[in-house]
Amino acid sequence: MPKASANKENQAPGTKPESDTVRWSTRDRMIMLEILQAEKAAGNQPDSGWKQEVWTKVAACLLKDGDKPDPPKTSKKCQDQFGKIKKDFGTIREMVGAGGGSASGFGWDDATKKVTATNTVWEAKIKAKEEYRKFRKNAFPHYDAMLDLVEGIMATGAGAFNPGISVPSSPAVPSSESSSPAADDGPTSDDVPAPSASRKRQHAPSDSPALGPKAKCLNSTTTVPVIMDYHTLAIERMEEDGLLSEDEMINALTVFDRDAACAKSFATIKSSSIRTSYVRKRIADTIS
C-alpha cells in the first residue's frame, strides 16, 4: 500500500494530514489583499463575487512570492482565507462603529491597528460576546485594505466608523499569541456597518517608499500602489515568531518606534531566526 494512503488511513477521524495544513503569514495575507485590490481596480470584482481567474492568480502569486508556499495555497484555500479575514473585518466594524449599541465603548488605534478599550469594557463585552476576545491583544493590519475591497458591497448600517473617536486602553503588552485572528474562524457575515466616507482608502503616490509586498507576478499595468505599514508588520512578525522574551520584545518595540528602517528590515526578512538575530543586535547596539 502506498505510504500516502497508509497515512490517510491511520489519521484520526475529522483531522487533516499534516501536509495539507496551509499556513498563512501576515505578509501572505497582505499579498493576497494587494492582488485583490489590483483586480478590483481592473474591474474584476463583480457584485456576485470575485471571478475564478482572480483566485487562480492569487494562488499562483502566493506560490511564487509568498512566505509559506508549502503546502501550496489553492484557489479554494485563498477564498476561504479571504472569508475569514472578511469576517474579522466585519466584527471589528461592529465593535468600533460609532452609534453605540451592544459594542459601545470600543475605540480604534490606527497606528497599531488595534481595537482599544478599558479593561472594564473588555471584560464586559467579551462576556457578552466571546468573539471579541481575540481582538483584545491582536492587531488587525488588514483594516484599510479590507475597507477598500468591501466598500459599497457589505450591507449598510448606521454605525459609521469615526477614527477620531477612541477610548483609553490599558498599556499594550506584547503577546506571544498569534496576531492573525483571521486564521481561526470560518466564513463571514455581510451584516456589518457601512464604511465611513472619512475612511475611504487613500492610495499612496506611485513613487511612495512605503508600498505593499508588491507580488512580482502582478502585471505592472494592473498593480495599484498599496500603503504598507512596516511598523505594524514588524510587530506582527515578532509576535508570530515568539522567539523573543518579553523584555526583548519591549526593547524591540522601542527600536521599531525610533528606527523605521529597522522595522522595515525586520518585517521583510523571511527567515525568523535571521530577523530575530538582527533585532537582537540592533537592541544591543542601541543599549551600548
Query: Maximum Cα–Cα distance for the chain, whole Å?
Result: 63
pLDDT at residue 153, as a whole number: 58
**pLDDT of 28 above 80:** yes
Residue 236 banded pLDDT, cuts 50, 70, 90: confident
Cell numbers 488595534 correspond to 114
Residue 117 banded pLDDT, cuts 50, 70, 90: very high
Cβ-based neighbour number of residue 84 at 10 Å: 20
Overall pTM > 0.75: no
The cell numbers describing 20, all together, are 495539507
The cell numbers describing 14, all together, are 475529522
Cell numbers 480604534 correspond to 108
Which positions ≥6 away from 243 have C-beta within 8 Å?
272, 273, 276
pLDDT at residue 268, as a whole number: 85
105: left (phi over 0), alpha (psi -120 to 50) or beta: left
Cβ-based neighbour number of residue 127 at 10 Å: 10
Cell numbers 522595522 correspond to 263
Of the ranges 1-5, 165-169, 265-269, the best mean pLDDT one: 265-269
The 10s digit of each residue's pLDDT in 180-223 is 444 433 333 333 333 343 444 443 333 333 335 555 566 544 44
Cβ-based neighbour number of residue 115 at 10 Å: 28
Residue 245 banded pLDDT, cuts 50, 70, 90: very high
Cβ-based neighbour number of residue 100 at 10 Å: 10
Tell me the average pLDDT across 48-60.
90
Query: What number of residues does the chain have?
Result: 288
pLDDT at residue 264, as a whole number: 87
Query: How many percent of the chain have pLDDT more than 90?
Result: 34
Name the residue with higher pLDDT: 278 or 100.
Answer: 278
Name the residue with higher pLDDT: 143 or 16.
Answer: 143
Count helices and strands (H / E) in the chain: 10, 2
Per the prediction, the chain carries an average pLDDT of: 73
The 10s digit of each residue's pLDDT in 150-191 is 875 554 333 344 333 333 333 333 333 334 444 433 333 333
- Which residues face 211 on adjacent strands? 227
**pLDDT of 42 above 60:** yes
Domain boundaries, the chain: 228-288
**Residue 116 φ/ψ, nearest 5 degrees:** -120, 150
pLDDT at residue 36, as a whole number: 94
pLDDT at residue 19, as a whole number: 55
Tell me the average pLDDT across 235-257.
89
Listed residue (217, 92, 186, 98) closest to 142, CA to CA = 92
**End-to-end distance of the chain based on CA atoms, in angstroms?**
61
Could you tell me if 199 and 193 are in contact, meaning their C-beta atoms sit under 8 angstroms apart? no
Residue 278 banded pLDDT, cuts 50, 70, 90: very high
